Amino acid sequence: MLVELVGCRNQWGIDQVLDAKGHKATLRDLLRPFRPENEEPAEPDELATLTYRLDSLVQQIASIPFTVTVSPTDTDHRLHIATQHPMPAVDEGTTVTIRLASVAATAEADGGISPGQAVDVDAGAVTLAGVTSFLVVTATASVEGRRARSAALINARLVGAPDDRKERLLSAQLKDSDDLIRYLLFLLFDLVDDARLDQLLSTFGGAGGRWRHSGQVPLLETMLRALVRGGSALDRVADLLDDLVSTDREELLPEGLEEIWEPINAVRQELRA
């Protein structure tokens, strides 16, 4: 909070505001002395010092540009992790590994990183769902029998991924109308002022009445909330529905959805014009 006092110096100067005269309350009365809980800071032990060094190391590695290259095969996709810049030096006894964020951390999944050399790691074969640009780099070391660990998430440049990867993944997830409704609610979920929502509900009174009171999820209300709020939520819904129609998957559209969507989409397009 910023408070600005404007006036003559003899009335609002530092001395007048902070110094008490005539036993009057001033802003100085709001101040409280700072008393640290620990009078003397404790020195970090060796494990804390090692953890700090590992944190610094993974931050250095995370600042280096990484590339994940996708090579499709007959049944899956093979991923390769690489950098053009060498990795930083590490202390003796420190191990650094890297893996795809889409696979579990195992000895087989973790690829070793050699200090002073560029990364050149075969990340193995994955399904389409496992194709990702996110990598996990982990540094581990031990001191006095105690193990320290630090990790960071890296967003690499993804090369060679199928152009329709997102559409194919979404298609695999949406198996029926219930899946579609849940995904639509995920795209739309937000809160707006109830008074404005009630006003819009009366405007669309007849549309989707069966949906609103048949015990199904409140998709109409959620779409109207997104319409009131604005933003890109309804644009994503429009793209999704267009994709379903263009790929001949209209059977996923639940009964009554078009009755709800058409008037809302018309208002959306009018507001964007």
Main-chain phi, psi angles of 89, to 5 degrees: -70, 150
Residues 96-126: tens digit of each pLDDT: 999 999 998 887 778 899 999 999 999 999 9
Main-chain phi, psi angles of 188, to 5 degrees: -100, -20
CB-neighbour burial class of residue 169 (10 A; exposed 0-12, middle 13-18, buried 19+): middle
The structure's pTM equals 0.63
Handedness of CA 101, 104, 110, 115 (dihedral sign): positive
28-37, 79-88, 119-128, 223-232: range with lowest mean pLDDT: 28-37
What integer pLDDT is reported at residue 61 of this predicted model?
A: 97
Q: Which of 55, 53, 121, 117 is nearest to 82 (CA)?
A: 121
User: Span 27-48, mean pLDDT?
Assistant: 79
User: Span 120-142, mean pLDDT?
Assistant: 95
Residues 171-227: tens digit of each pLDDT: 788 888 888 888 888 887 654 455 554 554 455 444 444 444 433 457 788 888 888
Q: In whole angstroms, give the CA distance from residue 219 to residue 153.
A: 35
